[in-house]
Structure 1
Amino acid sequence: MLGKMKRILIGKPMKSAELDAEKLGKWKALAILSSDALSSVAYGTEQILLVLVAAGFAALWYSVPISIAVLGLLVILIFSYRQTIFAYPTGGGAYIVAKDNLGTAPSLIAGGSLLVDYILTVAVSSSAGTDAITSAFPMLHDYSIVIALIMIVFLTIMNLRGVTESASVLAIPIYLFIFSIAILIISGGIKFLAGGMEAAAPEFGTSMSHVSLFLLLKAFSSGCSALTGVEAVSNAIPNFKQPAEKNAAGTLMLMGCILGAMFIGITLLAYGYGVKPDPKATVISQIAEATFGRGTMYFIIQGVTALILFLAANTAYSAFPLLSFMMAKDKYMPHMFMVRGDRLGFSNGIIFLSVMSALLVVGFKGNTESLIPLYAVGVFVPFTLSQLGMMIRWIKVKPSGWRVKLLVNTIGMLTTLSITLIFIFTKFTQTWVIFIFLPLVVYVFMRIHRHYCNIADELRIDIQLEKPVRKGNTIIIPVAGITRVVMNTISYAQTMSDHVVALYIGFDDEAIRKMEQKWEEWNPGVRLVVIKSRYRSIMGPLKKFIDTVEWKTAETDHITILIPQFITKHWWQNVLHNQTSFMIRAYLINYKDVIVTTVPYHLNR
């Protein structure tokens, strides 16, 4: 039944040869990889206004120059990452750049920051999308956590179905969002120029003595949250059709143009309409209501905004599994992240991302706004390391025109480093945890790497000197009685070796006497060894017996434990039986260097 449900939800398995068909063209890639960046239009301006409103309504005019500064940073990042795409066409973004130019520790910081950021992206996006829905339908506010979790499950299933299929479905609402915001900006701009708005905008250029540089820097850093997701294209170059780097660069430029136009448009409308932050209505909600009223167009914009906020998480679903694969390949993450699923996606990475983000949503009760500064720092740390790594690369390699490229990355590095420091100092109460969490993540990566290296060292052999040693085989069969299951196991054991011993562990003299008598009558051609357990334990006497056999035969024989086990016809019938065979198997595999094999006997009723 579970298999059928999996096929319905995820689809039929795909052949490895179909991998090329899963590659993305520019327009599908734009929808999948830019959803995080484009969704920031819905909250980037609001984050600036939330800081400025503390200085009074008149201070909101600062949102315009601050947004222009954010736009300038966007341009720097777009051109910087375009250079990264052509320099590192295998993908991996900041992790690969830092690994190649800065060393192990910086690369792990970059990779760890991005992985954590992708988890935060899903949690923040699903919660932000829920907020957009509850702004339009306040009666759903009590169900915000459930709505967010449903959307995470939906995105998980879509991505498990494969990149191409999810892109085909998810591209529709993303392009609908772009179209709707374009209509909103054009209509709102026309209404503003025609003087049709009711709210008066704060006077531009008003001098305010109580607006400090610290406040402006804090607002600027908050607005930079609109730049999260810009790096996703450079991380996911392997997902593009050939020529991958050219398609990726084109997608990145297109994303930057759309993001910049929408962000500055929404900011200008918010200023022109005199919009200020409202916990019950988002900035876009207020602009749409002021422009169209609470009519059809308002609800369309709210609907597609909620969708894009939800779908922003889809960028993480594209980038997280791929980055996890690269780090697992370098032995810094579990190898399970290297496994492709039935639909050729890295399904373990997708499921892990979903589980972790769902735990964050539940843990913060759907209110993940406090995670946004941490989420932004998680992006700007890799931004900075990537730019620094590219600077070092240009100095080392010195390709044609390297000085101009070095200048672009130097400006990018200094800018993103400044933003990171601003974030840390202006929002230290929300970002201090990064100083504990990032070193912890890097430590975990190092321990994983050490584990894999230790295993490789211990398992490695000298193929010139070391050869397999031919030994005999002593087989031990733990038995609880004389049954068809035991008979089946003995029959199998006798095909493998002449040294077969049945072991019975009894708890009282009467049970032992009966077992010895019945075994003698049956006489299966296998010697029975009986041990009395005074403390009703099976594991202790079994271990001691194996130790004794090992001591006597270690040089000449392998030791195999054959465990008789019957398999019930229905899964629920397992609950009705002792699971001694499972316990013996688990114990011996973990504590003894012996071969442990289960010999199944299937029941028909």
Structure 2
Amino acid sequence: MLSSLKRFLIGRPLKSTELGEQKLNKTKALAILSSDALSSVAYGPEQILLVLITVSTAAFWYSIPIALGVLILLTALILSYRQIIFAYPHGGGAYVVSRENLGINPGLIAGGSLLVDYILTVAVSVSAGTDAITSAFPSLHQHNVLIAIIFVLFITTLNLRGVTESASILAYPVYLFVLALFILIGVGIYNIVTGHVSPELHTPIGTPVAGLSLFLLLRAFASGSSALTGVEAISNAIPNFKDPAPNNASRTLMAMGALLAILFSGIVFLAYYYGITPSGEETVVSKIADETFGRNFMYYFIQGTTALILILAANTGYSAFPLLAVNLAKDKFIPRMFTVRGDRLGYSNGITVLGIASIILIIIFKGETESLIPLYAVGVFIPFTLSQTGMIVKWVKEKPKGWVPKLIINSTGALISFIVTLMFFLTKFEQVWSILVFLPIIIIIFHRIKKHYELVGEQLRIKPGQTIKPIDGNVIIVPVAGITQVVENSINYATSLTDQVIAVYIAFEREDERIFEEKWNKWQPNVRLVTLQSQYRSIITPLTKFIDTVEKKASENNYRVTVLIPQFITKKSWHNILHNQSSLLIRAYLLFKRDVIVATVPYHFKK
């Protein structure tokens, strides 16, 4: 039943030879890898206004120069990550750049930040998309968390079906969103040019505003820079592109940068000119659409596509998180399970973990986008800063042809990213302080996992000249609970291997012990039986004490002890709940005992 459900949700398994068919062309890659960056247009401009409104609505004209600053940073980041794509064509992005140029710990900080950031990408995107839906349908506002969780489950399932299949589905909403915003910006600007929008709705550019400080402007700039999250995703996901992967990734990155710049500038300008004031119940994009078209088909088209891309922007996380996890797992900093491809040739363990972690975050933060965005943004600007700094070190060390312009680009990106990171810590410390706690914890966990793998490798490695002393014999202990076909099957198997077989029976009552010994001596007189009294009705304690005693004597004679556990297998899986699982408990306990071999002899029921 579970297998049938899995096939229905995920699809048939793909052969390893079909991996090439799972690569993305530029059109599909732009949709699924740019959706995060493009979707942030829906909340990035709003973040600027939310800071400026703390002074007054008269300060809204400052959103224009702040937006220009964001565009300068976007340009530096796009050019920088284009260089990273060609310098590190196998992917890995900020983690690989920082590790190779700045050292292991900076690399782990970048990698750990991005892992967390991609989890936040899913949580923020889905939460923001849910907000867009409930802005249009306020009666649904109380169900935000449930709606967000349903969307996460849907996107997780979609990604488990494979990269190309999810891209084929997600491309349409992304391009519809781009079309919708182009129409909105175009009609909005047309209305302004033709005089259909009153100039009295906004404060003229250059109007003095009392109480405005440089610190507050920098804070607004940092908040607006949240629109740049997701820019790095393409550099992490180069292996997902069709060949030539670096060239296709570079072109996709440039296209994303151009679209993001146009959409972000357009929304900021319309919000300023329309005099839009942000509120908790309705998004800025919703208010602009309402002012431009009214509550007609176009309004709901814009809201619908905005909600879709905000939700499906989570797919950027699903595309980049598994590939980043693969790089960390190959370096043995996280479990190796992240390097395993699933039935559909995607890294399904990474996809599943990402989905579960995102749902947990949505529940903790109750689906409130405002609470998540600052943590989300600072989590990506730390890798921005480290990756740009790493590239600076690379150019200074290697000095390739034309390295000076590259150095300037990366230096600009590193400086601005560092300023933005500082501003988040200075202005929103109460919302981002947790990153100072969990990042060191993550780094410690990375190193502990690495140490574990090194110790395992050391213990598994066969050293030159090393010889293993051969075993002289084997003692088999068979725990028995009665005289049944299951026990008989196990005893017959044990006696076929050695004549050193000991059956062990745990008795709770003296009378039960006497009766069982009599029956056993008549049934299996040639197999030694040991009965153990258990006054506290425990099977594990007396059995393990006896095994310890036998193991100690056996080791003196270079014998090994094997515990052979009889286990019946019911025809239907649900029948298992009707039976005690003592054999499973014994096996689970004994597996962690040293120098004891644990084996199971199955006996399958036919009815």
Deviation, 1:603, is: 1.7
Residue of structure 2 equivalent to 1:269? 270
SS in 2 for 1:183: helix
1:522-601 correspondence runs (5 A):
522-523=523-524, 525-554=526-555, 555-601=557-603
State yes or no: 1:82 paired with 2:89: no
Q: Which amino acid aligns with 2:317?
A: A
Structure 1 unaligned residues grouped into runs of 5+: none
SS at match of 1:598: strand
465-474 or 264-273: which moved more?
465-474
Cα deviation code 1:50-97 (max 9, x no counterpart): 110111111100001100110110000000000000000010001001
Q: Compute the displacement of 1:400 (Å).
A: 1.3
SS of the residue corresponding to residue 131 of structure 1 reads helix
Please name the residue that 1:355 is paired with: 356
Contact 2:14 2:343 in 1 (8 A): yes
Offset at residue 208 of structure 1 (A): 1.4
Partner of 1:60: 60
For residues 141-166 of structure 1, give each alpha carbon's deviation from its aligned partner in whole angstroms, at most 9, with x where no partner exists: 12111110111001000100000000
- Residues 530-579 of structure 1 deviation map (CA, whole Å, 9 limit, x = unaligned): 22223322212211211122122224222111111111222222222111
Q: Aligned AA for 1:580?
A: S
Q: Helix, strand or coil: the match of 2:531?
A: strand
| CA displacement 1:451-477 (0-9 Å, x = unmatched) | 111222222221443346244221110
Aligned with 1:564: secondary structure? strand
Kept after mapping to 1: 8 A contact 2:551/2:596: no
- The 1-side partners of 2:459 and 2:466 are apart by 16
Per the alignment, residue 259 of structure 1 pairs with 260
Q: State the AA in 2 paired with 1:175.
A: Y
**2:333 counterpart residue number:** 332
Contact in 2 for aligned 1:476/1:503 (Cα 8 Å): yes
Q: Deviations over 1:306-353 (max 9, x none)?
A: 000001110000011111111111111111111111001111111111
Q: Distance in 2 between matches of 1:132 and 1:47?
A: 15
For structure 2, the 5+ residue unaligned runs are: none
CA distance in 1 between partners of 2:475 and 2:348 (Å): 42
Separation in 2, partners of 1:283, 1:46:
6
* Aligned-pair CA distance for 1:218: 0.8
Aligned residue number for residue 248 of structure 2: 247
Q: Is the 8 A contact 1:30 1:251 kept in 2?
A: yes
Q: Find the aligned partners of 1:552 and 1:440 in 2 and give their Cα distance.
A: 45
1:298 matched to 2:293? The reply is no
Q: Is the 8 A contact 2:365 2:371 kept in 1?
A: no
Distance in 2, Cα, partners of 1:496 & 1:29: 59
- Measure, in 2, the Cα distance between the counterparts of 1:352 and 1:362: 16
TM-score, structure 1 length as denominator? Answer: 0.98
Q: Counterparts of 1:464 and 1:33 in 2: how far apart (Å)?
A: 53
Q: Which whole-Å CA distance do the structure 1 matches of 2:70 and 2:430 have between them?
A: 23
- Which moves more between the two structures, 242-251 or 503-512? 503-512
Bigger Cα displacement from structure 2, 515-524 vs 224-233: 515-524
What is the identity, as a one-letter code, of the residue corresponding to 1:151?
A: F
Partner residue in 2 for 1:48: 48
Corresponding letter in the other structure for 1:135 = S
Q: Is 331-340 or 521-530 further displaced after alignment?
A: 521-530
Name the aligned partner's letter for residue 161 of structure 2. Answer: R
Aligned partner letter, 2:110: A
Asked if residue 508 in structure 1 is aligned to residue 509 in structure 2, the reply is: yes
CA distance in 2, matches of 1:278, 1:209: 23
**Aligned AA for 1:481?**
G
Matches of 2:401 and 2:204, distance apart in 1: 49
Measured against aligned partners, the alpha-carbon deviations of 1:507-539 in whole angstroms (never above 9, x if no partner) come to: 221111111111111126321122222332221
Following the alignment from structure 2 to structure 1, what is the Cα–Cα distance between the partners of residues 535 and 150? 54
CA distance in 2, matches of 1:468, 1:286: 79
AA of the residue aligned to 1:593: D
Partner in structure 2 of residue 178 of structure 1: 178
Identify the range of structure 1 (276-285 vs 524-533) with the bigger mean alpha-carbon deviation.
524-533
Q: CA deviation at 1:604?
A: 2.5
2-side partners of 1:315 and 1:593: how far apart?
48
Equivalence for 2:474: 473
TM-score (norm 2): 0.98
> Does the CA-based 8 Å contact 1:192-1:273 persist in structure 2?
no
Q: Distance in 1 between matches of 2:410 and 2:525?
A: 80
AA aligned to 2:227 is A
Tell me how far apart the structure 2 counterparts of residues 391 and 213 of structure 1 sit (CA, whole Å): 28
Letter in 2 for 1:91: G
The answer to whether 1:117 aligns with 2:117 is: yes
Kindly provide the amino acid, as one letter, of the partner of residue 208 in structure 2: S
Q: How does 1:63-462 map to 2 (within 5 A)?
A: 63-198=63-198, 200-462=201-463
- Equivalent position of 1:15 in the other structure: 15
Deviating more after overlay: 358-367 vs 305-314: 358-367
Deviation for aligned residue 1:501: 1.4
Three-state SS of the structure 2 residue aligned to 1:134 is helix
**Secondary structure of the corresponding residue to residue 591 of structure 2:** helix
Q: Deviations over 1:482-501 (max 9, x none)?
A: 00000111122122222211
Preserved contact between residue 145 and residue 366 of structure 2 (Cα < 8 Å): yes
| Identical amino acids, percent of aligned pairs | 60
Contact 1:217 1:426 in 2 (8 A): no
Distance of 1:305 and 1:15 partners within structure 2 = 37
Where 2:54 maps in the other structure, the secondary structure is helix
Superposed displacement of residue 591, structure 1:
2.7
RMSD (CA atoms): 1.2
Q: Distance in 1 between matches of 2:502 and 2:433?
A: 63
Runs of 4+ in 1 over 6 A off after TM superposition: none
Aligned residues: 605
Q: Give the residue type in structure 1 aligned to 2:476.
A: I
Secondary structure of the structure 1 residue equivalent to 2:474: strand
- Looking at structure 1, the residues matched to 184 and 395 of structure 2 have their Cα atoms a distance apart, in angstroms, of 43
Letter in 1 for 2:117: D
Task: Give the Cα–Cα distance (whole angstroms) in 2 for the partners of residues 192 and 201 of structure 1.
Answer: 12
Which amino acid letter does the alignment assign opposite residue 293 of structure 1?
A: G
| Structure 1 residues 223-280: Cα deviation after superposition (integer angstroms, max 9, x where no partner) | 0000000000001111111111111101000000000000001111111111110222
Measured in 1, the distance between the counterparts of 2:548 and 2:285 equals 73
Rounded to whole Å, the distance in 1 between the matches of 2:482 and 2:525 is: 13
Q: Is the 8 A contact 2:471 2:560 kept in 1?
A: no
| Superposed displacement of residue 209, structure 1 | 2.8
| Partners of 1:125 and 1:312 within 8 A in 2 | yes
Paired residue type of 2:77: L
Query: What CA distance in whole angstroms lies between the structure 2 residues aligned with 1:187 and 1:233?
Result: 32
Aligned with 2:590: secondary structure?
Answer: helix
